[in-house]
Amino acid sequence: MTALIELERATKRYAGDVVALDDVSISIGRGELAGIVGPSGSGKSTLLNLIGTLDRPTSGTVRIDGHDVGELSDREVSALRSQLIGFVFQQFHLTAGVVALDNVADGLLYAGVPRAERLRRAAAALQQVGLSHRMEHRPHELSGGERQRVAIARALIGHPPLLLADEPTGNLDSAAGAGVMDLLRGLNSDGTTILIITHDQQIATSLPRRLPISDGRMQPIAPPGIGATKEICHES
């Protein structure tokens, strides 16, 4: 079986000669839990966006579940996102004024699932993240940690094999962040491949695999606790 995520010499260049990602080749297998670590501006989000098919490389290839993203049409790439990938963002991106249940149900809106089924599964997903008692709350009535758990419920409602999280704990205090991480670890042990970007040293060192990046290039994998920790120390 091929790796779930495969990058081959992927490069991302922005206008003004900014090379955000430089000749990156990585392979991430099914069921992995990996962290992308590196200083600010090193290209972590750029990498995650390429893997998430939200953006395409300037050169090189990105293959998700065997599909060469560069070859896919907009419809196909959209279908790939709705079937294979769940996203969790630092800013949650919950729809204001809409209750948690509906926010989570929207996770299946573009998957062709009927509304009743979406709501049923949204309730189950909220239960999975421990928010059964907050289903009818609007985002502004929830704490930061609760909001991120709602966002995670939305990402996992379609049971995607791949979950991408860009600094999911960046806006949370350490207790709430730990809650979110426990949730992600639980999902991973159920088989979901999870890739997260984190600035949190403790979280980073606790992950089974780390992908250090700096200046748009992947760094040689340092033994846990040395290279990565250093990078993060520079940062803070």
Partner 1 sequence: MSRELIPGRLSLPDLVRVGQAGLRARPLRVLLSALGIAIGIAAMVAVVGISSSSREDLNRQLQSLGTNLLTAGPGKNLFGEDVHLPAESVAMVGRIEPVTSVSATALVQDASVYRTDKIPAGQTGGIQVLAAQVDLLPTISGQLAEGVFLNEAIAQYPAVVLGAQAADHLGAAPHQQVYLGKQWFTVVGVLQPAPLAPELDNAALVGWPAAEKLLGFDGYPTTIYARAVEDDVTAVQKVLATTANPEAPNEVDVSRPSDALAAQQAADATLNALLLGLGAVALLVGGVGVANTMVISVLERRGEIGLRRSLGATRAQIRSQFLAEALLLSTLGGVGGALIGSLVTIGYAFSRGWPAVVPPWALAGGLLATLVLGSIAGLYPAIRAARLSPTEALSTP
Ligand X SMILES: Nc1ncnc2c1ncn2[C@@H]1O[C@H](COP(=O)(O)OP(=O)(O)OP(=O)(O)O)[C@@H](O)[C@H]1O
Interaction of residue 163 with partner 1, rule CB under 8 A: no
Beta pairing partners, 24: 10
Tell me the residue type at 9: R
Which of 57, 107, 179, 212 forms a contact with partner 1 (CB under 8 A)?
107
> Is residue 14 within the footprint of ligand X (CB under 6 A)?
yes
| Residue 45 makes contact with ligand X by CB under 6 A | yes
Q: Does 20 bind ligand X (CB under 6 A)?
A: yes
Using CB under 5 A as the binding rule, whether residue 46 contacts Mg ion is answered as no
Alpha carbon distance 100, 153 (integer Å): 10
Give the residue with the Cβ less far from ligand X, 44 or 149: 44
Asked if 45 is part of the footprint of Mg ion (rule: CB under 5 A), the reply reads yes
# chain residues binding partner 1, by CB under 8 A: 39
Among 52, 60, 212, 216, binds partner 1 (CB under 8 A): 52
Q: Pick from 24, 44, 94, 158 the residue near ligand X by CB under 6 A.
A: 44
